[in-house]
Amino acid sequence: MSEQLMTFDVIVIGAGHAGCEAALAASKMGCKTLLVTTNIDHPALMACNPSLGGPGKGHLVKEIDALGGAMGINADRHALQMRRLNTSKGPAVQALRAQVDKHAYQRGMKNILEKEQLLTLRESAVREILVEEGKVQGVVTRQGSFYASSIVVLAVGVYLHSKIFLGHNYYPGGPANQSPSDELADNLISLGFKTERLSTGTPPRVYRRSINFDGLSPVAGRPGAGSFSYVTGKKEFKQLPCYLTYTNERTHKLILDNISYAPFYSGLAAGKGPRYCPSIEDKVVRFADRQRHPIFIEPESEETEEMYLQGVSTGLPEELQYALLRTVPGLENVIITRPAYAIEYDFFPPTQLKATLETKKIDGLFFAGQINGTTGYEEAAAQGLMAGINAALQCRKEPPFVLGRTDAYIGVLIDDLITKGVTEPYRMFTSRCEYRLLLRHDNADLRLTEKGYRLGLIDEQRYELFKEKKRLLDAEKKKLHSIRLDPSPAVNESLARIGSAPLAKPQTLAELLKRPEVGYGDLIPILGEGKGFSPSPDKEITGEAETQIKYEGYIAKQEKSVKQISRLESRVIPNDFVYDGLANLSAEAKQKLNTIRPRTLGQASRIDGVTPADISFLTIYLENRRRR
pTM of the model: 0.93
pLDDT tier for residue 1 given thresholds of 50, 70 and 90: low
Class of the CATH-defined domain 571-627: mainly alpha
Q: What number is the average pLDDT over the span 11-16?
A: 98
398, pLDDT greater than 60: yes
CA distance 441 to 56: 8
Cβ-Cβ contacts under 8 Å for 598 (sequence gap 6 or more): 419, 573, 604, 607
Contact 307, 261 (CB under 8 A): no
CA distances from 495 to 266, 484, 502, 514, 524 (A): 65, 15, 6, 14, 11
Q: 10 Å Cβ neighbour count for 309?
A: 27
Give the C-alpha separation, 539 to 520, whole Å: 10
Domains in the chain: boundaries: 3-199+345-455, 205-342, 470-555, 571-627
Instruction: Work out the angle between the directed axes of helices 102-115 and 17-28 (0-180°, nearest 10).
Output: 20
Query: For residue 177, what pLDDT is reported?
Result: 86
Q: Is 502 helix (H, G, I), strand (E, B) or coil?
A: coil
| Backbone angles phi and psi of 127, in degrees to 5 | -105, -20
pLDDT at 530 over 60: no
- Beta carbons of 124 and 41 less than 8 angstroms apart: no
Rounded CA gap, 480 and 510, in Å?
5
- Is the per-residue pLDDT at 224 higher than 90? no
Among the ranges given (164-178, 219-233, 571-585), the one the predictor scored with the smallest mean pLDDT:
571-585
For residue 571, the model assigns a pLDDT of 87
Mean pLDDT, rounded, for 298-320: 96
| Confidence bin at 3 (pLDDT 50/70/90) | low
pLDDT tens string 244-303 = 999 999 999 999 999 999 998 888 888 888 887 889 999 999 999 999 999 999 999 999
Class of residue 143 by CB neighbours under 10 A (exposed 0-12, middle 13-18, buried 19+): exposed
Q: What is the DSSP string of 332-383?
A: TT--EEE--EEEEEEE--GGGB-TTSBBSSSBTEEE-SGGGTB-SHHHHHHH
Three-class DSSP category at 170: strand
User: Is 531 a residue whose pLDDT tops 90?
Assistant: no
Indicate the fold that domain 470-555 takes in CATH: Arc Repressor Mutant, subunit A (1.10.10)
Rg (CA), the chain: 26
Is the Cβ–Cβ distance between 188 and 401 less than 8 Å? no
- pLDDT value at 326 more than 90: yes
Is the confidence at residue 563, as pLDDT, over 90?
Answer: no
Split at pLDDT 50, 70, 90, the class of 532 is low
Residue type at 366 in one-letter notation:
F
Where residue 373 falls (left for φ over 0; alpha for ψ -120 to 50; beta otherwise) is: left
Q: Which CATH class is domain 3-199+345-455?
A: alpha beta
Q: In the prediction, which pLDDT does 525 show?
A: 84
Predicted local confidence at residue 2, as pLDDT: 59
**pLDDT of residue 447 exceeding 70:** yes
Q: Given a cut of 60, is residue 457 above it in pLDDT?
A: yes
**CA 590 centroid distance within chain:** 32
In tens, the pLDDT along 345-381 reads 999 999 999 999 999 999 999 999 999 999 999 999 9
Query: What are φ and ψ of residue 272, in 5° steps?
Result: -70, 130
Helix axes 377-395, 57-66, angle to 10 degrees: 30
Which long-range contacts does 267-272 make (Cβ < 8 Å, 24+ apart)?
A: 268/165, 268/168, 268/170, 269/163, 269/165, 269/170, 269/199, 269/315, 269/342, 269/344, 270/197, 270/344, 271/197, 271/198, 271/199, 271/344, 271/345, 272/197, 272/198, 272/199, 272/423, 272/424, 272/425
Q: Say how far apart CA 537 and CA 543 lie, in whole Å.
A: 11
* Mean pLDDT (the chain, rounded): 93
pLDDT at 615 over 90: no
CATH number for the domain running over 205-342:
2.40.30.260
CA distances from 105 to 63, 69, 356, 423 (A): 19, 15, 28, 31
Predicted pLDDT of residue 277: 82
pLDDT(97) > 90: yes
pLDDT at residue 442 tops 70: yes
Residue range 461-480: mean pLDDT, rounded: 94
pLDDT at 153 exceeding the cut of 90: yes
Cα 336 from Cα 318, distance rounded (Å): 9
Residues 69 and 38: beta-carbon distance below 8 Å: no
Helices and strands of the chain, counted as H and E runs: 21, 23
Backbone angles phi, psi at 508, to 5 degrees: -80, 165
pLDDT of res. 529? 60
Residue 533 has pLDDT above 80, yes or no: no
What's the pLDDT band for 102 if we cut at 50, 70, 90? very high
